[in-house]
Structures are given as C-alpha cells and as structure tokens.
Amino acid sequence: MSDPKVTSKRRAVPEGLGFGALVFLPLTAACVFAFGWSTGGGAADDRWLAVIVFLGPLLLPPALYWGRSRDSFAAVAGVLIPLEVLAALLAQYTIIGAGALFPLLLVWANLIPVGLRLSKREEGASVSWVLLGLIAMLVLPLQARLGFQLLRLQDEVRRIVAYSYDYKLRSGTFPLNLRDYPWTYPELRSHFSYHGSGTADKFTYPFTDNPSFDRSDKFSVRYYVGDPSTAYWYSSAKGWFVEDD
C-alpha cells in the first residue's frame, strides 16, 4: 500500500513545475509587445496585429493549467512554447521576409499537441509528447544558431565600417575592397559583399535613387544571415537599412 504523503508529494511536484514554468510567460509577453510596437511603421493596426499573432501561442500553457492538465507535459510546454515564441521573434531578424513566418507557423502548430493533451485521451498522450518535442526541435536549434551567427555578423560589420572610415582618414578615399581587412570571423566572409570607391557606381541601389548623386567616393557593405536574398546593408550615403526581397 502506497504512502499517501509520498503520493501527494509526487503529484505536487509536476503541479509546482507547471506553475513555475508560467514565469516565462510575462517576460516573453513583454518581448512580444516591444517587438509589436517597433514594427508597422507607426501604424497602430499593424502593431496590434503583430502583438496578437505572437501573443496567441502564449495562451496555450495557461490553457493547460486551467484545463487541469497540471502534469509534466504542462510544465515542459510552459517552458518550450515561450522559448519558441522568442525564437519566432528572432526569426524576424535572422531570416527576414516571408521565410520568417515559417517558425511562427510552427509555434502555432502547438495547438495540436496541447489540444490532444486537453482531450485527455490515452492514445493522444504519447502523440502529444512527440509533436511537442518535434516542434521544439524544428524551431529552437536553428534560431539559436542563426541568432549567434547574427551577433557575430553584426560585430564584424561594425568593424568593417570602422575600418573603411579609418582607411579614408589615412588615404583620402574608402578602400576598393576588403583584401587588406583583418577579419575577426573569417568563416563568415562569404556572408559579406563590399562595394568601395571606384566600384560604387555599379551599385546604385545601396546609395541613392538620384542619378546625379556623386558615387565616386562612397562605400556600402551587405551581409545576410539565413537567406541570401534578404540582407542588411550599411551605406556611407544612407546608413543602415534592410533589404527584403
């Protein structure tokens, strides 16, 4: 015969874990609001839409808790889903463009395992675990890698910009290329393209739409993270901007 004290303690542990996991939700929600208010170009409707789309999946862990599914599944979901929402937010900066919607769609796919869990069907218990883990594996590792890569790319591009301006102070013009540039992360060299003095006239887009603009002594540097068709730019004429094809 089992000890009722031990049994109640075992039941209390997953419930406590489930409640503790919900601590992630306020922080993630704050990140969602910050992201939403930084998008939309000042359009309030667009900002609210961004908030709702990213905030929606955060309701799934509370739904499990309120649905009396206070077990280890609720605890794990309460950690993984907020992390996946943060990863989907990160994808807006690593993948950019339409491709960044894929991680968000995967996060919303958590409706399936959570729904199976709330149905309390025995046959759905193992499937819900598999789906929860599969979604996490598809979202989290890739965005963690791309996020780390983005940090290194941003560090490198700041060094390239500083090198270009320092080169001009010493020689009077911007460098033609990065042949003499000391790379901090040489393995990321293929992610960059540089257009310097004497070649800038071949690349009108990074500088200006004005055909009379003097491109003789300008430079631009382009770098991408996940998708080569979308990239970040720095131009000595326009500053920092994002290319989204």
Name the residue among 98, 94, 66, 64 with its Cα closest to residue 81.
Answer: 64
Helix (H, G, I), strand (E, B) or coil at 179: coil
| Residue 112 or residue 226, greater confidence | 112
The pTM (predicted TM-score) of the whole model is 0.76
Counting residues of the chain whose pLDDT is more than 90, the rounded percentage is 29
pLDDT(203) > 70: no
Tell me the one-letter amino acid at 128.
S
The confidence score (pLDDT) of residue 87 equals 92
Helix, coil or strand: residue 223: strand
pLDDT value, residue 166: 93
Q: Is 195 helix (H, G, I), strand (E, B) or coil?
A: strand
